[in-house]
Structure 1
């Protein structure tokens, strides 16, 4: 796991500070090309961002793994890095990061006219231990001119021996109060402290400001071992602002931080559920709207070349080949939407790719691809782009199997902007209470910014005041993976599958926990006698 800290970043905004995002690239040293692996979240108005998002990178001793970290000032809603201001970059190998003896790797950013990047590598410790924490504040400093403060907390763990910390959690901010009570949050101990109860933790309190840099209130230090004592006097901390303390001998604190709750328990992992017999049911829904271009034309996204897979087939194969191993019968539903379907060629937003009217099932990934090719020859492209019918189709199956032994994954592949956004939002909010996840893969070069609204990573999805129970949507733009696929097809498909399926395990666990489902009993090993 790779964490980042930035110091003294260049300010690229005229009226405020930069809004930095870090993009991690893998460098193909044989072809001297870059391929995006992951991105952090955006930090508003900061020249020293500490991102909560970490990078999971597989370490291989036998391979020279060259990484590049590019920092951008993200000033618009577009997904492309080419539309953002560059703040600098650096290159190193994963071996350099991991062989630094536990100390952070520090580099000066190139082409950034200032800025230092601190890279921390840490082996992920597998642990089922989960920590639930809740904090309250009292008598915090007033930071807003016409109000009180809008406080939030940042929890960090120590890295190396040089008094440096990397962020592991950021709470919500609470408006206009000096005595906040933050919502409880849950975090795995492996992320919080690397499984080490004695590892130093830093808790900082800030006043949230929408249009400027957040104001520092104070900080305190502790360990998980101490937090486990719960709501006792020894877990009441002075929040200290070092600058204020240095200026005034009478300074006591900038408020108090109290531990309201700290419980530790073990939670089953995704693999525990898989070993216990959980079945993942895979459904594909393909966009048959006219904006894809006529399948007979080489510039069409649906053009079928026996030598080179189109983007739809690439997405189906990349995701399907991973998920098929978690479904015992390997019978998958394959749907289409936005096409004119024979024999009457009426527009349908929920038709079966195999051409049947009684069953949408196909045998394995190859069966899906054959059904997709069949529909290209028989279905007319039309429109509009409606997602709600296929989401409701899968939701009906999920609603009938709430036993904790079945989970449904819907892959929607589309080339453009959604036209039934309100209906789709409603369908997703309803589906969020069911055992299902929805993955949207965007193909082609369209602007997919509207799709980001459906992915609840930054903001919980809602419709008419009703909020999603949990985030079940993951959006991935295929265009970002094409350079790697051209350079190394197998590695490109693997990276696409990783990005597409990355959130499914946590989404499965969230549903299982919310509905009190424990893993089934694994089948006992069979001993063969010869």
Structure 2
């Protein structure tokens, strides 16, 4: 579609907005709202008390983000404060903003304010949020402008479901993380790569790992996770490996928490050469070997694979999944990038159970989600990553229970009290 606009001040026609001949370039959707006549401006200053501590070392580095609500129910960022370093009781500098920018002159329109802990790599931690209106803000410093910064974990359903399993079955859940280092992901030094080493922003692999990992680490007592890579050439001899430890220690591939895995992942990108082929079976069989040794219901193994979806050993992977379905294990696959992911959907087995050599898998143990479906168009990174974590973990409770039933493992008749990791935290601003 070609559109020509007219400049109201000069009467001249502007250049047309057109696509590239012969190419399908997609579409652009423009949303417009009539501006109000209000020309007022507001000067405000905020402080907070007892914000949640997000940094392992030190305190938090909080900043605020202000959102104007739109007529269609979405929100648009209209202001960000500066970052106040290393404090849980910040006092932000005063600022002046046009009321039209804040609420389009509608004094009762919702204004949303989110509070974050600043991180150097751009993965700012969500502290909490509250809503108000310009009418309330205009009252100035008073009891009306003291707000509870509320945080309710968006994955509380998953937390609750997983938490119920522990007291009933006394099951220890063991997570293993596997990351795709094949050349189909692109050169990490180039911005088009899914492994692009951007010093200011997390890539898709790191974002997916952080979103899911921050939930799963709540279910591990020592927060130590084996983290593996596959499909890369390793130094010093350039041999190809399909199950190498990210930390470089083959005897002890465990990383301390998700931050430890992220650190090992970034260090691996500096030392290994992305190569191929993309073989899943060695990783699946690696975890299956541990699951095969403990089949009494006391332990359950979950393999998290983060990949661009290109797979070279489909037949061998199907066989590994069919064999793994008899064991206390599940597989989560998070697909990053823009591939079609047809092979990953086939491995998921929701519509047609995975089979190999004429044998159907005893139960469904694979859950696949495409990362791109969870990128929030409004820019709310926190909510989009919470939805991702919820969906990738949602099938684990049923899969664990199905294994217990198949092996005749009985739940304890009277479970002890258990507090799930999901909780509501309140602070004041």
Same topology, TM > 0.5: yes
CA RMSD of superposed structures (Å): 2.3
In 2, are the aligned partners of 1:355 and 1:374 still within 8 Å (CA)? no
Q: Taking structure 1 as the reference length, what is the TM-score of the superposition?
A: 0.48
Q: 1:507 aligns with which of 371, 393, 399?
A: 399
In structure 1, what is the Cα distance between the partners aligned to 2:392 and 2:340?
19
Change (3 A) 1:393 1:28: farther
In 2, are the aligned partners of 1:445 and 1:479 still within 8 Å (CA)? yes
In structure 1, what is the Cα distance between the partners aligned to 2:346 and 2:375?
24
Aligned twin of 1:497: 389
Change (3 A) 1:28 1:515: farther
In structure 2, what is the Cα distance between the partners aligned to 1:524 and 1:501?
23
Q: How does 1:340-359 map to 2 (within 5 A)?
A: 340-359=233-252
Q: 2:75 aligns with which of 30, 33, 42?
A: 30
In structure 1, what is the Cα distance between the partners aligned to 2:202 and 2:162?
32
In 2, are the aligned partners of 1:417 and 1:447 still within 8 Å (CA)? no
In 1, are the aligned partners of 2:309 and 2:344 still within 8 Å (CA)? no
Q: 2:367 aligns with which of 468, 474, 486?
A: 474
In structure 2, what is the Cα distance between the partners aligned to 1:345 and 1:459?
39
Aligned twin of 2:116: none
Tell me the CA shift for residue 306 of structure 1: 3.3
Question: SS where residue 487 of structure 1 aligns?
Answer: coil
In structure 1, what is the Cα distance between the partners aligned to 2:368 and 2:391?
9
The reply to whether residue 298 of structure 1 matches residue 298 of structure 2 is: no
Q: 2:307 aligns with which of 393, 414, 420?
A: 414
In structure 2, what is the Cα distance between the partners aligned to 1:416 and 1:431?
20
Instruction: For residues 400-421 of structure 1, give each alpha carbon's deviation from its aligned partner in whole angstroms, at most 9, with x where no partner exists.
Output: 1112121111111111321100
Q: Taking structure 2 as the reference length, what is the TM-score of the superposition?
A: 0.59
Q: How does 1:453-472 map to 2 (within 5 A)?
A: 453-472=346-365
Question: Which is bigger in relative contact order (C-alpha 8 A, separation at least 6)?
Answer: 2
Instruction: For residues 155-182 of structure 1, give each alpha carbon's deviation from its aligned partner in whole angstroms, at most 9, with x where no partner exists.
Output: xxxxxxxxxxxxxxxxxxxxxxxxxxxx
Tell me the CA shift for residue 305 of structure 1: 2.1
Q: How does 1:105-144 map to 2 (within 5 A)?
A: none
Aligned twin of 1:431: 324
Q: 2:290 aligns with which of 393, 397, 417?
A: 397
Question: SS where residue 418 of structure 1 aligns?
Answer: coil
The structure 1 segments of at least 4 consecutive aligned residues displaced by more than 4 Å after TM superposition are 520-525
Question: SS where residue 413 of structure 1 aligns?
Answer: strand
Instruction: Give unpaired runs (5+ residues) of structure 1.
Output: 1-26, 33-62, 65-125, 127-268, 526-530
Instruction: Give unpaired runs (5+ residues) of structure 2.
Output: 1-71, 78-109, 112-156, 419-429
Instruction: For residues 26-53 of structure 1, give each alpha carbon's deviation from its aligned partner in whole angstroms, at most 9, with x where no partner exists.
Output: x862149xxxxxxxxxxxxxxxxxxxxx
Instruction: For residues 218-274 of structure 1, give each alpha carbon's deviation from its aligned partner in whole angstroms, at most 9, with x where no partner exists.
Output: xxxxxxxxxxxxxxxxxxxxxxxxxxxxxxxxxxxxxxxxxxxxxxxxxxx754421
The reply to whether residue 378 of structure 1 matches residue 271 of structure 2 is: yes
In 2, are the aligned partners of 1:322 and 1:497 still within 8 Å (CA)? yes
In 2, are the aligned partners of 1:270 and 1:509 still within 8 Å (CA)? no
Instruction: For residues 458-486 of structure 1, give each alpha carbon's deviation from its aligned partner in whole angstroms, at most 9, with x where no partner exists.
Output: 111100111101000011101111235x6
Q: Matched residue pairs, number? A: 266
Q: How does 1:443-454 map to 2 (within 5 A)?
A: 443-454=336-347
In structure 1, what is the Cα distance between the partners aligned to 2:391 and 2:165?
21
In 1, are the aligned partners of 2:309 and 2:343 still within 8 Å (CA)? no
Aligned twin of 2:179: 286
